[in-house]
């Protein structure tokens, strides 16, 4: 901030006060530069220190059970991690989980936000009910779904299946990954609804009305007007959900523990179990770095998709 409009305005009144005002502005500008530094410094330390430690650990032999045996092993940890049978499973489970949850939350999110954008009785209450799952902590949603809803004997789903004369499904042993996907989708659907609902409110109503008068059907309206309008919020939902879904942990930790076998082990859980259950710090670090690289590849494309619009707003 070199000169403020106030500076010239105040000058005509009195040189003295004008100088002090611009002086204050300059001082403030100088001081304010240092006000960013705590945030930047903290985040820099937060990124650099643990990450470089991860890199270092990934290159040495480091098992907490044999703490004295710390030789340099080069890329051996990566080799072990990448050829471990858990890696293939963890990788495909991660992609399956992210992909399926994204698909479910976006499709249902768009449909539901279009639906609740109409005027009807009790709209406010419906919105509150729809977004509620977002505020439930992951460990609660996982256990409530597992024990009260999906339980093969006393669960609500079992009761519905029995009512229709079907054999109740033991979700967590027959379709464990599907069960996890259902829980995570339920937890993240409100996020998509919340953002898309807000975006729907800025939809040009006159344009819609004009198109309707021109004889456009509801499907044409949706496809040619609503969907393009939602493109950006959908991209934002994809970006933020991907960041969080890549690291889903608590839902797996509290329900399946990654099993049976590797069936519900994603990368996050695999690395956790290598580090804190098998104490192989070296291999877990190699896995951690692979997860970081994966997240960054995803982030690179996602930020290019929406990142520009984040800061170009003003």
Burial class of residue 73 in the structure, from the number of CB atoms within 10 Å of its CB (0-12 exposed, 13-18 middle, 19+ buried): middle
Least CB distance to another protein at residue 224 (A): 20
Among 91, 101, 130, 238, binds another protein (CB under 8 A): 130
Of residues 230-249, those binding another protein (CB under 8 A): 232-233, 236, 240, 243, 246-247, 249
Q: What is the 8-class DSSP label of residue 222?
A: I
- Contact letters for another protein, residues 157-196 (x by CB under 8 A): -xx--xx----------------------x--xxx--xx-
Asked whether position 63 contacts another protein by CB under 8 A, the answer is no
Query: Please, what is the end-to-end C-alpha distance for the chain in angstroms?
Result: 18
CB 272 within 8 A of CB 288: no
Among 2, 71, 153, 165, binds another protein (CB under 8 A): 153
What does the block give as tokens for 220? 């044409």
Residue in 58, 16, 135, 63 with CA at minimum distance from that of residue 279: 63
CB 139 within 8 A of CB 252: no
Among 12, 72, 121, 228, binds another protein (CB under 8 A): 121
Least CB distance to another protein at residue 130 (A): 5
Least CB distance to another protein at residue 79 (A): 18
Among 198, 207, 217, 261, binds another protein (CB under 8 A): 198
Asked whether position 38 contacts another protein by CB under 8 A, the answer is yes
Interface region with another protein, contact rule CB under 8 A, candidates 75-83, 173-181, 198-206, 207-215: 198-206
Asked whether position 116 contacts another protein by CB under 8 A, the answer is yes
What separation in angstroms does the CA of 34 have from each of 23, 27, 28, 173? 17, 11, 10, 56
Helix residue ranges, H only, 116-175: 123-131, 138-144, 156-163, 171-174
Least CB distance to another protein at residue 85 (A): 19
Of residues 72-111, those binding another protein (CB under 8 A): none
Residue in 54, 32, 15, 6 with CA at minimum distance from that of residue 292: 54
Asked whether position 21 contacts another protein by CB under 8 A, the answer is yes
The span from the CA of 256 to the CA of 177, in Å, is 9
What does the block give as tokens for 158? 């079992």
- Contact letters for another protein, residues 265-294 (x by CB under 8 A): --xx--xx--xx----x--xx-xxx-xx-x
């Amino acid at each position: 901030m070199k000169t403020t409009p106030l500076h010239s305005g105040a000058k005509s009144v009195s040189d003295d006060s004008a100088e002090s005002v611009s002086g204050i502005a300059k001082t403030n500008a100088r001081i304010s530069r240092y006000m960013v530094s705590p945030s930047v410094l903290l985040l820099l330390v937060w990124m650099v220190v643990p990450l470089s430690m991860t890199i270092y650990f990934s290159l040495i032999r480091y098992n907490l059970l044999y703490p004295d045996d710390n030789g340099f092993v080069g890329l051996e940890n990566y080799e072990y991690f990448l050829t471990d049978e858990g890696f293939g499973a963890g990788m495909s489970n991660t992609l399956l989980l992210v992909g399926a949850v994204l698909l479910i939350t976006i499709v249902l999110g768009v449909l539901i936000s279009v639906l609740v954008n109409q005027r009807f009785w009790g709209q406010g209450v419906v919105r509150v009910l729809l977004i509620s799952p977002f505020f439930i902590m992951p460990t609660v949603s996982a256990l409530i779904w597992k024990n009260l809803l999906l339980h093969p004997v006393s669960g609500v789903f079992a009761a519905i299946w029995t009512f229709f004369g079907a054999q109740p499904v033991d979700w967590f042993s027959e379709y464990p990954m599907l069960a996890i996907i259902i829980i995570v989708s339920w937890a993240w659907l409100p996020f998509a609804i919340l953002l898309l609902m807000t975006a729907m409110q800025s939809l040009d109503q006159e344009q819609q009305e004009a198109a309707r008068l021109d004889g456009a059907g509801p499907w044409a309206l949706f496809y040619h007007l609503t969907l393009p309008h939602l493109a950006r919020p959908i991209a934002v939902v994809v970006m933020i959900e991907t960041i969080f879904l890549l690291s889903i942990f608590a839902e797996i930790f509290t329900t399946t523990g990654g099993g049976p076998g590797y069936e519900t082990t994603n990368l996050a859980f695999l690395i956790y179990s290598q580090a804190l259950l098998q104490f192989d710090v070296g291999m877990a670090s190699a896995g951690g770095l692979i997860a970081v690289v994966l997240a960054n590849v995803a982030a690179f494309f996602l930020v290019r998709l929406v990142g520009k619009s984040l800061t170009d707003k003003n």
